[in-house]
Chain A
């Protein structure tokens, strides 16, 4: 078994390339075989030859022996006739060339066969000679016939004396017959073998040749590019079939390859398109004014846009791919918001207060889960992640608060004079004012409060018009000087009643200005009214004007209580009442200055304040001429 395996291994190691070697080996083997056969033939022939020679010699010896024995008596009697008949009988022996008997002196007494040959041989020298106890062997080569002759000489002893000699000559066996038969056999064998070998070789080449070619082609092509693949393949026989199969495979693969190459190109194009779309979508998301933060189905952050980065004060590099709890440590509320019922697929809204680098903010967050796909739904109720929308509603909140405050202030302010009117009227009804002075006081108060209410409503109407943007200035060319003088006359009575000195300091060259006459009048009335209200009796109020190239300035200066520094900004706020005003029991609604400033600003001008507590205030209204 071991041997068989070894053979198998050996054979399996036999490769196509070795076919040449195989051929050579075959040839060698053939040659060896032929040589062997030739050797064998030669040996065979030689053996045959030797045997034949031996046979001849043995035959010759025995023949000579017998002849000598038979010739003994005739030689003794000198019976030539008997001797003739003996040699004549010898004639029929196989291969006999001649046979002769000679007497003791060597004269030939009887001879049969080829006498000429006998003569010739007697004259030649032998090629070889040896002696056995009874016989003298000699070997002659006859040049005439080219044949070897073996002669056997035997002395005949009769009456204890040498009576004569018997000589037999046998022809050397003919090589030809031996060789011929042997050669015939060998030749046929060799021919057969040679034929087989040739056939074998042919078949070998027939089979292996194409395979070898195929193999060479395939090996040479294995590193080539598809496009450059050109196989010169055998077309016949089994190798041809294999080749055709390979060709088909290559052709199929080639088609496939081209198809794939086309698909690849298309994919590349659509990839670029998709990438472009993706980038555009990302730009859009990045440009949204709301912050967007997207978490995937595993709760990890997958998208953060610029607004979210700003609001949360984070960098998208640091949070993408992370879990909110880990990457947003400073935004616990947001983390909780995302985490709370993160598995529930419903929208939730919440508001958070937090401060980032830009100060305190109120941020409204909306959690919008993505619709679960069929695949995700199969896992239960888990949504496929979701989106947190963040909006900075600080401004909105402030505005809402301002509006609430405004309304609450308005309600309060409206109720105040109304309350006074009601309570005074009730007091009158109940006769609580039992003196004429008291009654007068009551009636006056009711009247004033009614006026106050009216003014308040006017002011508020104006303010709300400004707020809504419905207040439109109707500008006309206004004689500034007249406007100011009219204002002065309107408050002259009130000033006199309070014993306050009212002065006008107006330059002569006050030009005309493009102003809304009614609105500016409101401002002037407010400022003058305040000046008088907040100045002690005996004080003074001055209305001064100045003009330059582009604007006119109106100063209202009083010697009143003044406004402390911390309140100087606030007095222009709606409904703001200074602490002093409360102390000094002066009524007011807190809207006058707010309105005045708004009107000034609408004209493109401004209203400024300079004041010193205890000394007085100076309000400066600046209005552009055009």
Chain B
């Protein structure tokens, strides 16, 4: 297997953020879909089963953290990376996020480069894993 076009789902109520993430990752060869609310995202997750989810926390309705939890509950076997992109995260949630290797916390203001690096890193791991397999 060569170049897997991983699917990225970005969830943020701020269109600027989604735009930046989308542009950066699409330029790097990923497929990107957007959701504006966690509820919308949930639907897309179940439907499209993205490999990477980049989500804000503070959104109207369900929070990003809750979205991650529900995702893990609903798709326990689905392998994906969850990146929490937010300007502030309380200690408890931060610890929860960092308790698993497939979850990351990137604070805002964020660097699009860093997003790309993180995603590439995941792809590499996945690739390796697949290769190993």
Residues of A within 8 A of B (CB): 408, 411-412, 415-416, 418-424, 426-427, 430, 432-434, 438, 445, 449, 577-579, 581-583, 585, 587
For the A-B complex, the count of residue pairs with Cβ-Cβ distances under 8 Å equals 77
With a CB–CB cut-off of 8 A, which chain B residues contact A585? 15, 36
Task: Report how far A445 CA is from B109 CA in the complex, Å.
Answer: 16
Contact (Cβ within 8 A) B109 A582: no
Q: Write the residues of chain B forming the contact surface with A, with a CB cutoff of 8 angstroms.
A: 13-17, 19-20, 23-24, 27, 36-37, 58-61, 87-88, 108-113
Given contact pairs A408-B88, A432-B24, A579-B37, A422 touches B109 in the complex (Cβ within 8 A) = yes
Q: Do residues B60 and A416 form an inter-chain contact, with CB atoms below 8 A? A: no
Using Cβ atoms and an 8 Å threshold, which residues of chain A touch B36? 582-583, 585
Q: B108 to A432, Cβ gap below 8 A?
A: no
Asked if A415 contacts B87 (CB within 8 A), the reply is yes
The dominant DSSP class at the A interface is helix
* Complex partner residue of A419 from B13, B59, B87, CB under 8 angstroms: B87
B112 touches A426 (CB 8 A): yes
- Docked pose: A577 CA to B14 CA in angstroms: 11
A445: B residues at CB distance < 8 A? 16, 19
* Docked CA distance A578–B112 (Å): 28
- Nearest chain B CB to A282 CB, angstrom units: 48
Would you call B88 and A583 a contact (CB within 8 A)?
Answer: no
Nearest-Cβ distance from residue B66 to partner chain A, whole angstroms: 16
CA distance A432 to B19 in the complex (A): 12
User: Considering only CB atoms, which chain A residue lies closest to B24 in the complex?
Assistant: A432
Q: List 29 A-B contacts (CB under 8 A).
A: A411-B88, A412-B58, A415-B88, A416-B16, A416-B108, A418-B109, A419-B16, A419-B110, A420-B14, A420-B16, A420-B20, A422-B109, A422-B111, A423-B16, A423-B109, A423-B111, A423-B112, A426-B111, A427-B112, A430-B113, A432-B112, A433-B23, A438-B23, A445-B19, A579-B37, A581-B60, A582-B36, A583-B36, A587-B14
Nearest chain B residue, comparing its CB with the CB of A412? B87
Whole-angstrom CA separation of A415 from B23 in the bound complex: 21
Interface SS of B by simple majority? loop
Q: In the complex the two chains form, is B20's CB within 8 Å of A423's CB?
A: yes
Task: Please indicate the chain A residues that have their CB under 8 angstroms from the CB of B61 in the complex.
Answer: 579
Q: Given A411-B88, A427-B24, does the pair A582, B60 have CB atoms closer than 8 Å?
A: yes
Chain B residues near A426 (CB, 8 Å)? Answer: 111-113
Which partner residue on chain A sits nearest B108 by CB separation? A419
How far, in angstroms, from A445 to B27 measured CA to CA in the complex?
19
Given A411-B87, A422-B110, A423-B109, list of 10 further CB < 8 A pairs? A419-B87, A421-B109, A422-B111, A424-B16, A427-B20, A432-B23, A432-B112, A438-B23, A582-B13, A583-B37
> Roughly how many angstroms separate A416 CA and B85 CA in the complex, as a whole number?
11
Contact of B60 among A421, A422, A577 (CB under 8 A): A577
Nearest chain A residue, comparing its CB with the CB of B90: A408
- Quote the shortest CB–CB distance from A425 to chain B (angstroms): 10
Q: How far is the CA of A170 from the CA of B58 in the complex (A)?
A: 174
With contacts A424-B20, A432-B24, A579-B61 known, is A415 near B109, CB below 8 A?
A: yes
Q: Which residues of A contact B113 (CB under 8 A)?
A: 426, 430
User: Which listed residue, B17, B27, B37, B59, touches A423 by the CB 8 Å rule?
Assistant: B17
Measured CB to CB, the closest approach of chain B to A443, in angstroms, equals 13
Across-interface contacts of A423 in B (CB, < 8 A): 16-17, 20, 109-112
- Known contacts A578-B60, A579-B60, A585-B36: does B112 contact A416 (CB below 8 Å)? no
- CB <8 Å contact, B109 and A430: no
